[in-house]
Chains A and B, each alone.
Chain A
C-alpha cells in the first residue's frame, strides 16, 4: 500500500517537474489525475504549493526598464566602433611595413650616403608603423 502511495507521489512530482521545470511558456495546469492525488495527499499538496509559490514569485520578480540615456550611450559607442579604423581593414600595411623597414635596415651598408638614406627611410617607416598601431589602440581605448 505504502509502495503504491510512494509511486503516486513520485509520479505526481515528476509530472509537476515536466510541467513547470522543463518547457518555458504558459502553465498548462495540473492534470486531473494530479489534482486527485494532490487532494488526497497532504505532503504532495504542500510540496506542490510551495513549489508553485516559489516559481510564480520568481517569474514575477520586478524587472527594470533601461533608461533612454543608456540606450543612446550604447548606440553612440557602437557608432564610434563602426567608424573606427581597424587593422583588419589594412591587412597589408603591417607586414609590408615590417618587411620594408627590415629590408632597408639590412640590405644597404651604413657607410655610404645611400646606406644612411636607407636607414633614415627604414626608421621613418618604423615610426609610421608605431604611430599607426598606437592610433588604433587609442581608438579602441576611447570606446
Chain B
C-alpha cells in the first residue's frame, strides 16, 4: 500500500481539481483521464461520474450480454455495476486501472445472477449475429480449404455457446474487447499465466469445434 494514494489525498486532489476546473463543460471532462474523473466524483462532482458511465457503459453492457445472453438482464446488471462502482469508488486505488476494476464488478454481478437464477438464454444467437457477412479467405492459396473456413459469425457464435461461460467470457474479453492478459487477469482474478494457458486451450478448442461443424 506504500505506493497507494490515500483516500484523503485523492479527495483533496479532487477538491483542487474541482476548484481549478471551475466551469468545465462535459466536452472538457470527456478529455480527462479516468483517475481525474474519479477524483472529481469523490469530491462531489456528480457530472464527472456521468462521463465515466458514458465512457464504459457500452463495454460493460456487451461484456455482460455475452455472459447472460439476455438484453433485460444485461441492462439490469449494467445498472447494478455502475451503482456498485459508485458506492465503492472511495475504495478504488487510484494507481489501478478503472476499466478492469469496473469489469470485475460487472463479471461478479453477472456470475451472481447466473448462480441465482440459472439464467436462461432468452435471445437467439441469430438476432445477435444478423447482418454480419461471412469472413473472406485471407489469400488465394489452398482456396478450397479457405472457403471451408470462411466462417459465418453465426457459426462462431454457436461455437462460443458450447464453451463454459467463464471461458467464453475470457475469450471475448481478449479477442472482442481487446483487453490485455494483465487486464483480463485482473477482471477474473486469475494469474496472467493461467489466462494465457486458458486462451491457448480455448482457441484450439474453438478451432476444432468449427472444423467439425464445417465437415458436417
The chain A residues found within 8 Å of chain B, CB to CB, are 17, 21-25, 39, 42, 45-46, 49-66, 70-71, 73-75, 77-79, 81-82, 143
Contacts and interface: CB of A to CB of B under 8 A. Distances in A.
Contact of A66 (B78, B176, B199): B78
Given A17-B200, A82-B46, A71 B53 contact: yes
Contact of B151 (A25, A57, A70, A73): A57
- Majority SS of interface residues in chain A? helix
A21 B199 contact: yes
A71 B145 contact: no
Given A22-B181, A54-B207, A66-B58, 20 more contacts: A22-B196, A23-B180, A49-B142, A49-B145, A50-B210, A50-B211, A52-B138, A54-B156, A54-B203, A56-B135, A58-B156, A58-B172, A59-B176, A61-B129, A61-B153, A64-B58, A70-B79, A71-B57, A75-B50, A143-B83
Contacts of A55: 175, 203
B178 A59 contact: yes
Contact of A51 (B129, B150, B207): B207
Contacts of B54: 71
B175 A59 contact: yes
Interface in B110-169: 128-129, 131-132, 135, 137-139, 141-142, 145-146, 149-151, 153, 156-157
B200 A57 contact: no
Interface in B188-207: 196, 199-200, 203, 206-207
B12 interface: no
A55 B151 CA distance: 11
B98 interface: no
A53 B86 contact: no
A24 B87 CA distance: 31
Contact of B149 (A50, A59, A62, A75): A50
28 contacts: A24-B178, A45-B141, A45-B142, A49-B138, A51-B207, A53-B135, A53-B138, A53-B149, A53-B150, A53-B151, A54-B203, A54-B206, A58-B156, A58-B171, A59-B176, A60-B135, A61-B129, A61-B156, A61-B157, A62-B131, A63-B58, A64-B71, A70-B75, A74-B79, A77-B83, A78-B82, A81-B86, A81-B87
